[in-house]
Structure 1
Amino acid sequence: MSSMGEHLFQSFFLIFTGAAVIASLALYTRQPLLVAYIALGALLGPYGFGLINDVNLVTEMSHIGIIFLLFLLGLDMQPKALLSVLQKATSVALISSAIFAVMGYIIGYAFGFSHQENLIIGMAMMFSSTIIGIKLLPTTVLHHKHTGELMVGLLLFQDFLAILCLMILLSGDLGKVDPQQFGMTIAALPALGLAAYLFVRFILLKLIAKFDRFHEYIFLLAIGWCMGLAEFASMIGLSAEIGAFIAGITIATSPIAQYIAISLKPLRDFFLILFFFSLGARFNLGLLGDVIIASLVLAAAILIIKPITFRVLLGRMSEKKSLAWDIGFRLGQISEFSLLIVFMAVTNGMIGDRASVLIQATAIMTFLVSSYIVIFNYPNPIAISDRLRRD
């Protein structure tokens, strides 16, 4: 076995054996598993015991989990239902994102970060976590209930906003966006949707109908379609996540969509463990002392202001008070997109290490605390209490 292969095998051994041990402890002590995976990353990563020093490969692989998650989301969304959900969620998503961005900017300014760093801090605060929001939502609620529809609509609209933010960062200057590149990207979205629809209608569905008794082939075809469209989307200036989501939507009406969704869930979970591990492993504990107060203030502001904002905005849309609070607390954290924004901004030299650690610390704190709030108070698949556990 090559040294690269040995290195990868050893990393997988440490991650998954470690995850099995620490997950067992977490369940015995009634802690959410997601917390265990992040803690394991911090322990084993380069800023902990240093047993896994190169987390780039693990991070790249974990990205596949997010792609599968969005593909499965698309599989559960009928195109007509998606349009009505987006219509309902648009105003709430736009107003709430503006409030969170301004809040992030003001707190960054109060702690002495530069104007450009504050813009990026504000940008990172706009989004809520698709992974936590969807993973802690019972499957029955996600598929069949108004709460699930509204949450998915809000998260999807935030994902579109996140793509726009990443495009701005890719230009390398917050004050200047290339109008030609921006226009091409906006035009690419409906073009990708149409091309995917035509391919599914005239090729993919015919292949599925002809060979649907070969389960291995259907599994392979689904992965190929998801990854292929994700890669194509990133080639034309969109994100792999958007491509995967469109791949899912275009076969959502197929009778075999639910079979594909069930088949891919274990694969998605495998990569999501890698995602949360890499999140913990990339966290630079050495710089935490410099930004601990700022990150505590920012995290507290997110955890308090996000639920209140969603409660008020959804209440104005005549949603029930209990449902508005439920959605507000489920979306009361920042997002994996926030971490992607940090990565892009650092790569382009737009923010310093302190601002980077501030956003990462805020992400981890809000991930943990909001997960606890949902797990102990709202129906979810990993609740400690039998009363709240819903699969």
Structure 2
Amino acid sequence: MAETSLFQSFFLIFSGAALIATAALYGRQPLLVAYIALGVLLGPSGVGVVDNVQLLADMSTIGIIFLLFLLGLDMQPRALVSVMRKATFVGLVSCALFLGLGFGIGQLFGFTNIESWVIGMAMMFSSTIIGIKLLPTTVLHHKHLGEIMVGLLLFQDFVAIACLMILLSGSTGQVDLARLGMSFAALPLLVVAAWVVVKYVLLPLLTRYDRFHEYVFLVALGWCMGMAEMAEVVGLSREIGAFIAGITLATSPISQYIALSLKPLRDFFLILFFFSLGAQFNLSMVPEIALPALVAAAAVLVVKPVVFRYLLGNQSEHNVLSWDVGFRLGQISEFSLLIAFLAASQQLIGSAASHLIQATAIITFLVSSYIVVMNFPNPIAIKDHLRRD
């Protein structure tokens, strides 16, 4: 069969997404479910009509970068410092507990010690996309719940960076502590450099030419992508760079216009992300990893909300808010998929362990989305009294 062109792939993805999203809304189902299901259907393990999945997956990561940029635009620096203090304790304890949980599940099903530790790493993180996308904009911007969510997700991002760097040095059998230390030392330098550029270059330009909307859009796009790439160069992640780009612009009076301009572009790439997640899953591995994946997913869906509930409760948070945060973070992350891919490419884990992490991600993404959409305020709720933009 002839290779599908990029245009044909886009036609199949977005036309198919429109059809299946319509059916999902009629069936009162979350749209994220529709995008993942479409990926499984059209990808190599389904009918195979979309075969350039890796290219689409690479492109889809731009959606995560835009998501973090917009997140930064909507958060004032002082609020971030305040919430990170509380998030650090909860983040450290929860990551340690989830690491142990994943390791125990790996050992239970006969995976090697290294594979079990990698499974544990994958369990530590919650999805930035699902956590933020299903949070009402008013809550994200102005409420304590939004601040706690952002603080915990950002703390997990830093832990994820450390895990990825450990895996990158795994082929030598040694952790490159010097490289790890240099990357984290580069973080404050990157923040200071970004602040200087924004104050003395970007803000004067945007103030002078703010009536040219196309120019504002291009400058914002270039700043986001440039900072993301700079962060990658110094050993951090593109997501962290994009967040820094956003938060350094947050005090600008034009920040909300930039945020509104980029949201459609973000959604375009996030649809690609969820499609590629479904398309990359190899259905032939299901018999081998079905039981461990179901056990791992059930453990994540049950244990994560309980852990966050009690850790936040000990930080004097109200029970209702603690349960809300717990259920919104009750899945594993897109970082978990990156960990699985990187560990497999370094030959630290086998195909079964990699697909176990992928299957756990898909199951927890789907079930967690259902739980939040059906029970908590969110922008895509089927029930009118829960829908909050």
TM-score interval w.r.t. the shorter chain? over 0.9
Query: Pick from 35, 48, 51: which aligns with 1:50?
Result: 48
Query: Pick from 28, 31, 41: which aligns with 1:30?
Result: 28
Deviations along 1:160-196, whole A, 9 cap, x unmatched? 1101111111112495211221121111111111111
Indicate the residue corresponding to 1:91 in structure 2: 89
1:147 is matched by which residue type in structure 2? L
Residue 306 of structure 1 deviates from its aligned partner by 0.2
Indicate the residue corresponding to 1:379 in structure 2: 377
1:205 and 2:203 are equivalent in the alignment: yes
Task: Give identity over the alignment, percent.
Answer: 68
Query: Pick from 142, 147, 150: which aligns with 2:148?
Result: 150
**Counterpart mapping for 1:1-391 below 5 A:** 7-173=5-171, 176-391=174-389
Counterpart-to-counterpart distance in 1, 2:48 and 2:225:
32
Cα 1:371/1:174, change in 2 over 3 Å: farther
1:105 is matched by which residue type in structure 2? F
Counterpart-to-counterpart distance in 2, 1:343 and 1:332:
22
1:39 is matched by which residue type in structure 2? A
Counterpart-to-counterpart distance in 1, 2:175 and 2:244:
26
Contact 1:46–1:54, Cα closer than 8 Å, also in 2: no
Counterpart-to-counterpart distance in 1, 2:99 and 2:18:
38
Contact 1:76–1:143, Cα closer than 8 Å, also in 2: yes
Contact 1:168–1:174, Cα closer than 8 Å, also in 2: no
Counterpart-to-counterpart distance in 2, 1:381 and 1:154:
21
2:363 is matched by which residue type in structure 1? M
Contact 1:59–1:278, Cα closer than 8 Å, also in 2: yes
1:234 is matched by which residue type in structure 2? E
**SS of residue matched to 1:213:** coil
Residue 54 of structure 1 deviates from its aligned partner by 2.1
Contact 1:69–1:268, Cα closer than 8 Å, also in 2: yes
**SS of residue matched to 1:387:** helix
Residue 298 of structure 1 deviates from its aligned partner by 0.4
Contact 1:116–1:174, Cα closer than 8 Å, also in 2: no
Deviations along 1:186-242, whole A, 9 cap, x unmatched? 111111111111111110111101100101100010000000111111111111111
**SS of residue matched to 2:174:** coil
**SS of residue matched to 1:48:** coil
Contact 1:231–1:243, Cα closer than 8 Å, also in 2: yes
Counterpart-to-counterpart distance in 1, 2:168 and 2:177:
13
**SS of residue matched to 1:120:** helix
Counterpart-to-counterpart distance in 2, 1:179 and 1:98:
20
Residue 260 of structure 1 deviates from its aligned partner by 0.4
Deviations along 1:288-324, whole A, 9 cap, x unmatched? 1101000000000000000000000011111111110
Counterpart-to-counterpart distance in 2, 1:314 and 1:337:
23
1:369 is matched by which residue type in structure 2? V
**SS of residue matched to 1:322:** helix
TM-score, with structure 2 as normaliser: 0.98
**SS of residue matched to 2:6:** helix
In structure 2, runs of 5+ residues without a counterpart are none
1:114 is matched by which residue type in structure 2? T
Counterpart-to-counterpart distance in 2, 1:270 and 1:213:
26
Residue 77 of structure 1 deviates from its aligned partner by 1.0
Deviations along 1:31-51, whole A, 9 cap, x unmatched? 000000000000000011111
Counterpart-to-counterpart distance in 2, 1:179 and 1:63:
27
Counterpart-to-counterpart distance in 1, 2:237 and 2:319:
35
2:66 is matched by which residue type in structure 1? F
1:146 is matched by which residue type in structure 2? H
**SS of residue matched to 2:15:** helix
RMSD of the TM alignment (CA)?
A: 1.1
Deviations along 1:29-87, whole A, 9 cap, x unmatched? 00000000000000000011111122011001100000000000110111111000100
Counterpart-to-counterpart distance in 1, 2:159 and 2:181:
15
1:284 is matched by which residue type in structure 2? N
1:328 is matched by which residue type in structure 2? G
2:153 is matched by which residue type in structure 1? L
